[in-house]
Amino acid sequence: MTGQERFVPESGIVVVDKPRGPSSHQVAAWVGGILGRRVGHAGTLDPQVSGVLIVMFGGAVRLAPVLLSHNKEYVCLMRLHGDASRESVEQAAKEFTGRIYQRPPRKSAVKRSLRIRKIQEIEILDMDGRLVLFRVRCDAGTYIRTLCVHLGYALGTCAHMEELRRIRSGSFDETTIVTLHELADAVAAAREGNHEPLQGMILPPAAAVADLAKVVVRDTAVDAVCHGAVLAGVGVVGKEGGFAKGETVAIVTERGELVGLGKGLVNSSALKPGEPGFVVAPTTVLMRPGTYPRGWKARTGS
């Protein structure tokens, strides 16, 4: 496909059901070819792992650091190398809940240095002989392949990962995913005038920051933020959620559009909408300058 499809927005997110076989990079490239956009992806899955893969295009690519940090959830099929009771497997799973040490596997593309990750939950779903099906909710960057090996050591039987599927990344889960074939069909329908299927598959950049605290800015302050100006309380009309000084917050318009990300200069409890004083320093701007009319005047020399 050449050129850019006019019915595809400039910026957005597609949550793809990555199949087993191709790499995450290859799947993202296919999405880019289908949409006619340059893309990036967040949260690499090994070729033989399937499930939720977040593909971004346009300005949404700048949200990669936020998307990469999201907690993940997987369903894993593990094969034990010896016999073990369900009770002992469930007990071992409890022992791995919380903060754990991991070293990335040899086939990983990252440096194999020791790291700490947190396992929020491990639920044993089913067992059939030496096959164990479990669901795990964990920090980003947790290696489930390594977790299986360590569970096997704890059981005294050894174990390895047989199959893995990611079912959630942050607020994106299997209810929002689309297959490559469905996306291609939606683009074909859009070319013929039916834009509804495609519109339902492309999420706005604001969907990526659903879990972040938000600062709502008045229309007259939006363009100043787009030009990198530090946001003052007089430009704020509201806030959603709490945040501490130094934490990342989402800067949104009164319509809910994502302007960008910023770092809190004060605690949310000290932020008083409409009052003077700097409150948020923009770090990543997604909205294009000029989208909203300028409500400020540039200083000129005297």
Residue in 17, 46, 139, 223 annotated catalytic: 46
Q: Indicate the pairing of strand 172-173 with strand 39-42.
A: unpaired
User: Contact at 8 Å (CB) between 24 and 166?
Assistant: no
| Alpha carbon distances (Å) from 266 to 29, 160, 232 | 41, 47, 11
The CA distance from 171 to 155, in Å, is 33
**Is 128 one of the annotated active-site residues of the chain?**
no
Tokens of 220: 């007259």
Cα–Cα distances in angstroms (integers) from residue 269 to residues 215, 243, 264, in the given order: 12, 8, 11
Question: Cβ-count burial of 210 within 10 angstroms (0-12 exposed, 13-18 middle, 19+ buried)?
Answer: exposed
- The C-alpha angle 118, 122, 128, rounded to 5 degrees, equals 145
φ/ψ of 93, rounded to 5, equals: -60, -40
Q: Which two tokens stand for residue 254?
A: 């009164």
**Is the CB of residue 115 less than 8 Å from the CB of residue 101?**
yes
Report d(CA 238, CA 243) in Å as an integer. 13
Positions marked catalytic: 46
